[in-house]
Structure 1
Amino acid sequence: MYYDIDAILTDAQKVPCQFELNVPGLGYIDGNTGGDLKRGTKVELPLWLGEMLAVSQPTSTGALVTLDLPAALSQRVMNALKADPRTVDLRAQAPHFYALAARMLELFEEEEMVDILTETFKKRSAEIADQAHNPRGALGEGAEFLRGLDETERQLFKSAHESAKSTRSWMADMKKH
């Protein structure tokens, strides 16, 4: 069996949920000492649990919880990404920002968010490739940008950097022959 650590960490990301039913004995989730969890209580649950509770329908009244978008995907963050995606520290929003967004977009129909995230990835990828091919820039002015990369972007940077390094090595070998 194969376990993807990035998928596990993405699923562990907390998302805001609101309980739609009273749940006996689960008050400790909200910080109560073992009482009932009341209808309307808002808590942050791991994505895997929130999703499972949101899609299940234990009664004819509907789901046990409703999910909301996490702060990492809030309108404030989307506005910042629209303004200049390269200035947003995605890692501070969520270490697995794009993976979290993809999982949430499976549950929510947010066409504008899809467009914003697509443009963000395109613009940031160009900057990542530039930093990866120019290691001196990554150590200087680009260092702050690189610290803000989420895990997907870090893998992209690593691949682009290794590719540039391999190309330089191949070119050096070709000149010798």
Structure 2
Amino acid sequence: MKIVKVDRQCLVDINKANQPFKIIGKIKPEFANGIWTYTEEIYEQSNIKTYPDDTCVYADYINNPDKTIFLAYSDTECVGQIVLKRDWNRYAFIEDICVSKSARGQGIGTKLIQKAIEWAKSSDLKGLALETQDNNLLACRFYVKCGFVIGGVNTMLYKNFDNDEFAIFWYLLF
């Protein structure tokens, strides 16, 4: 497995790892005494969710000091990606991270987070930040395993959609 910084040749591989994933439950965050904690609610029946591909101009990420993309390859197959940008608050914001279904559980997501940490530190940023939905329990567990903590919850971000999702904001401080 190798991880490469996006260039013109590998632009065609962006979003290949964006594949359906399981929704098995959700986290239920609680804020008390200045600290976020959460419990998990496991659903009786899991379901599958798919995010649409982002519609960014990915060529803008090539050789850009304020944003970048790293792609993970197994042989010649793109099996993961992480999309990063320098945010105004001195965090590297993870706009997207995904690992293809066939490659999950092999440490690729962790290696992409490590690459994001390297990029953020070399860019003089103070941590990583990202947002995911409360019902993406497997992703939330992954972020906790990587050392992220909840920094906030937005109950209105997805209110205009026909769902019951909350946005969870995760942070990893260096």
TM-score (norm 2): 0.26
- Which protein has the bigger helix share? 1
More RCO (CA 8 Å, sep 6+): 2
Larger Cα Rg: Structure 1 or Structure 2?
Answer: 1
- Which protein has the bigger strand share? 2
TM-score (norm 1): 0.25
